[in-house]
Amino acid sequence: MGREVRFVASFPCLPNHCQGEYRMAKTLSTTFNLMVSALHSLVGDLRTAKDPPKVSLTASLTDGTGANKADLLHADRYTLAASKTELDLTGGVSDVYGDAVTYHGVKVLLVYNRSTDAGEYLVVGGGTNPIAGNLTDGSDSWKVQPGGVFLSYAPDPADNDDCMIVVDGTSDTLSLDTTDSGATLDADVIVVGISA
């Protein structure tokens, strides 16, 4: 009688395909790149003056909860219509693996208004129990033009004012809205933060 041979393989955890004991520990590494460069020229009769200012920032957040670290990520596309969308950052959003994430603070917040139609503005902030820290007042909000981006980056939460602190029931909501009640627009949202 022949011998039965079984092969057992282990694979990394893929979105929506993790089960029980086969689930691996998650880690997060974030790279933040920002560059603005310009060329300001003045053409004269005999010469051309050029001013090429450039600002470049590359930063990394390693896995964890201290300075220059982050351990939570929520990234998704939201369709906004007549009513406001409020994201509860204390368990009301999930990561790509379907696990609810509960933020203590937000290190990187990026909201991109994907609309290309004039007048379809995206409003970020305000609402019920808004997260605060980078805005003077939690009730404040930013209006993002079509094709525009709202971006906040705070690498070190040593001082609460350096990081958008999230407190359940007090300052735990990221509000997204449109200024045109008849418009429907898509917004890409990335929230990188810490759990403690």
CATH number for the domain that contains residue 92: 2.60.120.770
Q: Is residue 149 situated within a structural domain?
A: yes
Q: How confident is the model at residue 136 (pLDDT cuts 50, 70, 90)?
A: low
The pLDDT of residue 160: 52
The answer to whether residue 24 scores a pLDDT higher than 60 is yes
Inside any domain, residue 18 = no
Q: What is the spatial distance between Cα 31 and Cα 144, in angstroms, rounded to a whole number? A: 24
Instruction: Check whether 90 has a pLDDT greater than 80.
Output: yes
| For residues 167-173, average pLDDT | 88
- Alpha carbons 64 and 149: distance in angstroms, whole number: 27
CB contact at 8 A, 132 and 80: no
What amino acid occupies position 127?
G
Q: pTM (2 decimals)?
A: 0.81
Q: What percent of the chain has pLDDT over 90?
A: 54
Helix %, strand %, coil % for the chain, to 5? 5, 45, 50
Could you list the residue range(s) of the whole structural domain that residue 73 is in? Answer: 64-194
Q: Residue 165 domain-assigned?
A: yes
d(CA 151, CA 194): 17
Spell out the alpha helix ranges (H) of 81-156: none
162 burial via Cβ count (<10 Å: 0-12, 13-18, 19+) = middle
pLDDT for 158 equals 56
For residue 38, tell me if it sits in a domain: no
Strands (E), the chain: 30-37, 40-43, 48-51, 54-63, 69-70, 72-80, 85-88, 90-94, 100-102, 105-113, 122-125, 141-144, 149-153, 164-165, 173-178, 185-194
Residue 161 domain-assigned (yes or no): yes
Report the C-alpha gap between 111 and 173 in whole angstroms.
Answer: 14
In this model, does residue 189 exceed pLDDT 60? Answer: yes
Q: Kindly state whether residue 20 falls inside one of the protein's structural domains.
A: no
- Residue at 46 is within a domain: no
Residue 138 lies inside a defined structural domain of this protein: yes
Residue 122 near residue 178, CB atoms below 8 Å: yes
Average pLDDT, stretch 146-160?
Answer: 80
Model pLDDT for residues 99-125, shown as the tens digit of each residue = 999 999 899 999 999 999 998 999 998
The Cα–Cα gap between 4 and 78 comes to: 51
Question: To 5 degrees, how large is the angle CA 78–CA 80–CA 83?
Answer: 130
Q: What's the pLDDT at 84?
A: 86
Query: Could you give the percent of the chain with pLDDT greater than 70?
Result: 81
Domains in the chain: how many in total? 1
Task: For residues 143 and 120, give the distance between their C-alpha atoms in angstroms, rounded to a whole number.
Answer: 10
